[in-house]
Chain A
């Protein structure tokens, strides 16, 4: 006793040595309380997501985005629910210990270390479950490591950790677990709505807000790692390839003059050759007619069948000078989408039109945000890491003010 009295004014534990005390407390919380439950929960969530979307993701551009969005959601969900109650459930205890010399920085640092370990374990479980259930990770190398699954795993860890720190901050400002759990859905919805991946943000201000979300950088990183810009875009092709679309009739007028503009392409000549043959009902697919919209006096006064056939032959064989006489004639196309698609494939090779459509739409949908380069992936990782540190800093600042709590 006397010894205590003598050294009362002596130095007490600094913030670094207090970290160990609180890491021990976290570990005991993990064992004796319910913290360990987040690990099996991560596996269950990964399994649920994998079962629903495993056949659709990382195959094409749409699948890449869907996969990036789904994996980001899984990581955010895991991260957010790891620490949403950790501080607010023991706020009174923290306040008491702060009176007894607890350094808030040590307390938050212990949480940061513990939550990092928890997120790492969750990410390992998630990736293992996703791989086990057949998600395609292994067919392409990674940008940072030789394995794409590891690259995506690191991104998942960073998303999860940044979300974890965000919810740690919410837990630090909420005074009760009920308060924290009330705020949580809004945070999740905000992250998902403004992620900018699947849900296109057309308004400039919405795109600016998107830059403040963890999900935005998570989706960008995963989509880049999935090779978004190298994969085909399937949406347009799938629309065209549907039976209802294929059976749709094509009734269109085109002038000879318009065809002349295109005639340098061998495809046009071949197309006309194919289409001038009769269909199953004995009707020609291509036929001349007098243009209804053109001025009547501009039209040549010839419209008998022989002349029409002569004009079609000329279009197919290609005598410019003779065709000029038919420039204002209309060619009426009477066909179906399926017929035109078959014609294209016949002129090229089977599957040529699908290649053409998916390639062209991929080019149109190229995004530098999803550029498959190490620099892009690193950039997004840095953003995610910065988010984690920023929210940890906010949590520290808010807890430093814990003494001002109203009773």
Chain B
């Protein structure tokens, strides 16, 4: 009975069994109920073990920490149960040591979660001490004090745009790229999370497309879904062939240039490209043919003078060009580049984008993510604007020509468009839902 009561106290109240501990634990949970209610979460969640931490994470805008705290609480309960059942001995000592370690890790995550809550309530960081030492006091004060109000609530995540979808599928073209993405989800701790939803578009061959969006809007998730690397609930057709079904065959027809310079510094430029050719070109290409192709690509990207230099000795611009050249070896139809101009000055960036324009002019499709689009915007044909809706799902806010984008958003510069769809707490205008809804309406009505 004693074990049961201890366990119940530990699980339900997150406290010990003395009267004082139960009282403080009870007050803390009552306070949490108030905080949850203020933040737009049902207050009774505070009474549910483990789940209360997820909700606290949501209120504090610290969802990963909330998930970890929920997991740690589950672990603590399990260890505590084992500890109470085990006879005294080495094993019990080990379980108790594990409990101490879990407790220490938990403190770190509590600090992170409570700091998030402090930020949401606009309080001074010194409150963290009280949150850690005597959490019932701040919980009661913040939960029921009139002066304590969260700066934003979880309620705000629910909006009209989140539930509105265009429902229009893009027509599949024989030539070009067609994307009909219904949803791209991820499951974390048994909870399904939408990363992207309702994105339908067609890109013509020879088009160079700018992919815009604020931080966390799902740009990288989108390109990974498009190039077939992280499959979504979608139909991606490249030149009339289903990319997901024929991925093994089409993977060499897609060039993806990642954000970082992911190459080995110990290889020379020539060796890097020769190895890339060995991987990407079919086995029917003999060494001489591979060498010829490598030399051709080096000439295109201006790498011939540095062919014998180690990659670690190249300049930033040369590395970017080499990174692109590696993918260009197999002459892909679809070329996706994630921030190829990061770390480059304006002149070098423009040169690079001009080379990309040249590739697009050969009938290729180029999709580029860049955070400084305005210096090269004249080289692009279309723009895709992704934005987070109120549920923080990546949605299509616009797809079309550069000119249409300017009139749709009422902004001249691409960077202003990004600012308009970014959340207010990120320094943006917080108009993402407005544009998502308007674009979906426009697509639905043709």
Interface residues of chain A, those whose CB is within 8 Å of chain B, are 1, 4-5, 7-14, 17-18, 21, 24-25, 28-29, 31-33, 90, 92-93, 95-97, 99-102, 203, 205-206, 403, 407
Contacts and interface: CB of A to CB of B under 8 A. Distances in A.
B283 A10 contact: yes
Interface string B259-289: 0101111110001000110111111100000
Q: 7 closest pairs, A vs B, by CB?
A: A10-B282, A32-B266, A96-B262, A92-B262, A93-B262, A28-B266, A4-B331
A97 B279 contact: yes
B430 interface: no
B252 interface: yes
Contacts of B280: 12, 100-101
Given A28-B264, A90-B264, A101-B251, 19 more contacts: A1-B331, A7-B282, A9-B249, A10-B284, A11-B282, A13-B279, A18-B279, A21-B275, A21-B279, A24-B271, A93-B263, A93-B264, A96-B256, A96-B262, A99-B229, A100-B252, A101-B279, A203-B90, A403-B230
B356 to A, nearest CB: 17
* Of listed A5, A18, A32, A33, residue having the most chain B CB within 10 A: A32
B220 interface: yes
A31 B229 contact: no
B293 interface: yes
A28 B267 contact: yes
B339 to A, nearest CB: 13
Given A7-B284, A99-B229, A13 B278 contact: yes
Nearest to B186: A406
A24 B310 CA distance: 15
Contacts of A92: 258, 260, 262
A28 B249 CA distance: 31
B91 interface: yes
A188 B227 CA distance: 42
A10 B283 CA distance: 8
B422 interface: no
A403 B229 CA distance: 8
Contacts of A203: 90
Interface size, B (range): 35 or more
Contacts of B65: none
A7 B413 CA distance: 43
A32 B260 CA distance: 21
Contacts of A18: 278-279
Contacts of B312: 32
B283 A13 contact: yes
* Of listed A17, A96, A100, A203, residue having the most chain B CB within 10 A: A100
A407 B249 contact: no
B253 interface: yes
Interface string B321-349: 00000110011000000000000000000
Interface of B: 90-91, 220, 227, 229-230, 249, 251-253, 256, 258, 260, 262-267, 271, 275-276, 278-284, 293, 310, 312, 326-327, 330-331
B330 A29 contact: no
Contacts of A10: 282-284
Contacts, number: 90
A192 to B, nearest CB: 18
B283 A12 contact: yes
A101 B247 CA distance: 11
Nearest to A89: B264
B94 to A, nearest CB: 9
A315 to B, nearest CB: 51
Nearest to A90: B264
Contact of B267 (A9, A25, A205): A25
A18 B275 CA distance: 9
A14 B278 CA distance: 11
Given A21-B278, A33-B266, A99 B271 contact: no
Given A4-B293, A403-B230, A407-B220, A12 B252 contact: yes
A9 B333 CA distance: 13
A8 B253 contact: yes
Nearest to B289: A3
15 contacts: A8-B330, A12-B252, A12-B281, A21-B279, A24-B275, A25-B266, A25-B275, A28-B271, A32-B266, A93-B262, A96-B256, A99-B229, A101-B279, A101-B280, A403-B230
A18 B276 CA distance: 11
Contact of B310 (A9, A25, A32, A93): A32
Nearest to A2: B331
A13 B276 CA distance: 11
A28 B271 CA distance: 10
Contacts of A29: 264, 266
A258 to B, nearest CB: 41
Given A28-B266, A28-B271, A33-B266, A8 B278 contact: no
Contacts of A206: 90
A4 B281 contact: yes
Given A21-B278, A203-B90, A8 B252 contact: yes
B305 to A, nearest CB: 20
Contacts of B331: 1, 4-5
A205 B91 contact: yes
A348 B418 CA distance: 100
A102 to B, nearest CB: 6
A203 B92 CA distance: 13
Contacts of A90: 264
Nearest to A1: B331
A4 B280 CA distance: 10
B91 A25 contact: no
B276 A100 contact: yes
